[in-house]
Structure formats: C-alpha cells, structure tokens
Amino acid sequence: MDHHRIASGTAVRLADHDPDDTSAFPEGKSAARAQAKKHTDRLEELQELLFAEGRRRVLVVLQAMDTGGKDGVIRHVFDGVNPQGVRVASFKRPTPVELAHDYLWRVHAHVPGNGEIVIFNRSHYEDVLVVRVHSQVPAAVWEKRYDQINSFERLLADEGTAILKFFLHVSREEQAERLRARLEDPSKQWKFATADLAERARWDEYVAAYDDVLSRTSTEWAPWYVVPSDRKWYRDLVVGGVLVTALDRFGMEFPRPAEDLSGVVIT
C-alpha cells in the first residue's frame, strides 16, 4: 500500500494521480473484497491489542471532496471494531466559541488517548482548504498554517500518536454520478444539499488547495496517502491495508496480569 504514500518533500499534483487506478491490486474486485475482509478481521484483533496494551494512540485523518467516501470508509473498514476503543470526530462549521480560540483548539480536544483509535471525518485541514477557497482569512494567515499543522502533528507523534492521513481521490465525473444518485434516490436525498453544487463549482480551486496540502504536510511522522477512490472496493482495500500494516508494525502483545493467577481456582 506504500504505492500511494506521498514521500516527504514531494511536489504533488493531483492531476498526476489517477482516481481510477487499481494497479496495486490487479486481481480484481472479488479478490479485493475478500482481502479487505481479512483486513477488517485483522484490524479488529489489532484494535483489541491496542486497547488492552494502553500505550499507543492512532489518529486517522480522512479528507476528500464531496462524495469522496469518508463515511463509507468508516462504515466498511472499521466494521467490527470495538466502539469502546474507537471514536469518530467530525468537524463542521466552527461555533462562535471555537472561533474565539485558535483554529487548532477544537481539534486538540479530540485527539486519541492511550489505547484509542480516533478517526477525523474532515479535520484541521479545513483551515487551509475551505478557509483558503472561500477567502475567510487573508492568505498571509493561512500560509503560516502548513508549518503550524506540521508542528502540531509532530507534537502528537512525539507523544506517542501514530498519524495516518488519507485523501480519498475521486474524479469530477464520479462525483457527478454520486451526486445524481443522491438526488434520485429518496433514501439518499437527505445527504444532498444544493450547497454541494456551489462547492463543486470551485473544483479547480479545491484541487489547487489540496495540491499544496499534500505537498507541504506529508511528513515522515504524519504521511499522506492519495487513495484512488472512484472504485469503492479499491478505496476500502487500500485504507484497510495501510491501517493493518501500521498497527502490525507496533509488535503489540497483551499485557501480563497484574498478579500471579496460576493458583486461582474458580468454584
């Protein structure tokens, strides 16, 4: 899955990344779904180890254009994990209280504690994406935020948090298909908002903003993965594979009991 990892210092152009690429798993859809199920099962085991060991923390950042599949990844990749050790934090429009603080204030409160996996459904990167595209703050302000975010993530990493960031890369054509599906299906219309079309009209501006995010904030301690997401089965396979590989590298073990249990008899 390192095929999709952005090396630190790489100048990224999303135009060079095919959102329909499935080259890392040429076996096809059926085989990929079987492999993704293995990832899900292994992730369930690893998450239990992580929680029991209680020493490490994992932060998963999901970013995407509208319809990119953030909810789908959460639903499918994390199917079966124990909710006791996994949290999802979604970052909507900042509240007046949040706006009265620095832009990372509301984010820091949601980072994982020992033994936890936390999934950011959108994240602190909105403050160099939406804020930039809609000119909510001057360029001189958001330009500084790339280095600030790198420092923030370095702090988390130094304190024991493994950070994995995924940009779910969909094509403009695929986005149109998914928006139409929402509009035409009564069971999906609740997901549709006319504001999505206004954001879609700014596609090129968002691509330019993401190019800078991926180029300037993929680091050794918090790498970005550009995940081709036109095919949902491939998206889930990649994200699950990266997560399982990262957690396997921890070499975790269940902790020993705090007392000698060899003579315990239950009657």
Mode of pairing for the β-strands spanning 117-121 and 57-64: parallel
* CATH number for the domain that contains residue 59: 3.40.50.300
256 assigned to some structural domain: no
pLDDT tens, position by position, for the chain (267 residues)? 688 999 999 999 999 999 999 988 988 899 999 999 999 999 999 999 999 999 999 999 999 999 999 999 999 999 989 888 999 999 989 999 999 999 999 999 999 999 999 999 999 999 999 999 999 999 999 999 999 999 999 999 999 999 999 999 999 999 999 999 999 999 999 989 898 899 999 999 999 999 999 999 999 999 999 999 999 999 999 999 999 999 999 999 999 888 888 889 998
46 assigned to some structural domain: yes
> How many domains are there within the chain?
1
Measuring CA to CA, how many Å separate 261 from each of 49, 51, 264? Answer: 20, 21, 5
Cα 34 to the chain's mean position, in Å?
A: 22
Query: Which domain does 45 fall in, by range?
Result: 2-248
266 assigned to some structural domain: no
Nearest-5° Cα angle at 133, 127 to 134: 90
Q: Are 18 and 228 in contact (CB under 8 A)?
A: yes
65 assigned to some structural domain: yes
- Among 103, 2, 116, residue whose Cα is nearest residue 59: 116
- Residue type present at position 140: A
